[in-house]
Structure 1
């Protein structure tokens, strides 16, 4: 029988007004009496490079203190493995919305036969950025888009390039330079993921990256995300995908083109950059 687990992602968000955050860990409570936690405590470079104005000592000291608090809560919960109400209460208290630098995402739910292995998988996905399955899907999208661009836009040369400056940059697989200007950048994205939370988290990461890229002067005249929407009939997944697509399209000259768009129409949309 599958074990049902609620989990939440620990985020470091030192500047609430910008909405930017970095994932640091996972907490999980399961209906078999396990309360699990995993927090990244070994490195700070990824975080301090991203929040470059933050004193590294502030982050390091605060993270150590918060990690100890999470561990204390987990030990208390695991001391009462048959008290479901207590464990859920501790989980809800720990992950409740707050205005501190450390806060949690909205909880998600997952069924598993091995909570410890699932905790590691979630940690790899959200904290270590191990998106092997997602990359497989997006590799296929990139291959198809690459073929389309080479066959249909013989007057353009698209290359993989890093956009931004020495402090912050984002890699796009298809960038077209025209007259010394970054005319267009294209990025295929697959939102055909397992659950609504994964879709939201992935979309939020790209919205955050685009906002940061704009601050560092790296936005091209035309940015295009060619997005594969969730398959199947799950209405909630379709709803959150539409929200993410709308948020991506709302700023910085970003256009979202569904991957399912007929080829003739897609070619017309890709041809309509701001240089024309």
Structure 2
């Protein structure tokens, strides 16, 4: 209804001095902005956020591109704010997915500024809430998954960010750091600098494959598989041999999920090692 709070919030936005017309998508973005504004005093309710983001995802399917573009920047900012306030994992997943989809369906040029903003936040923050770091990392990973070939220039900084996050005590932060790395590797398709890939490899080998948490070891094995899938850029035969040795050791892990992940990685690395034409 025109007198509802949602309508009034939606009408507040301006584009070129004119009110942005109300739409279902715009109203949901306005609601999301309201939730984020309230989060400064009280953490947002996880169920409310989950329901709102589910509706937002549905609205993205229906809204035309010009409507999405009208609200895109506001939506991106609200999603990022929600993530860095420290949302729970299901909300982080939905918010990250929504971020990627709005850039896909709206103005894709936004990917450069959004990736840079997320990287900047992760670089500058000293000791943020672990859930906030995990949320920002998951969102950046989703952007790499969808647009990695466009943002390969940021791969070295992303590798450094992953190294920083691997120092967190919380295993879910280390897991999301390596999931970010996996997405960055696969999304870039091997098109980044050799130095960036070599640093990523060092991070995996330095701690990920021997981490005390099995979910982190699984994520490290997935990164090794991703390396093989893109042709092992930046790696020589010495690194491939080291990778295979680590995978063989991983087959002795006492957790079946870890054994399975290292078995998949070993198969991919072996296939790459015997096929020089596929190596980058």
Q: What TM-score do the two structures reach when normalised by structure 1?
A: 0.33
More helix by percentage: 2
Q: What TM-score do the two structures reach when normalised by structure 2?
A: 0.33
More strand by percentage: 1
More contact order relative to length (CA 8 Å, sep ≥ 6)? 1
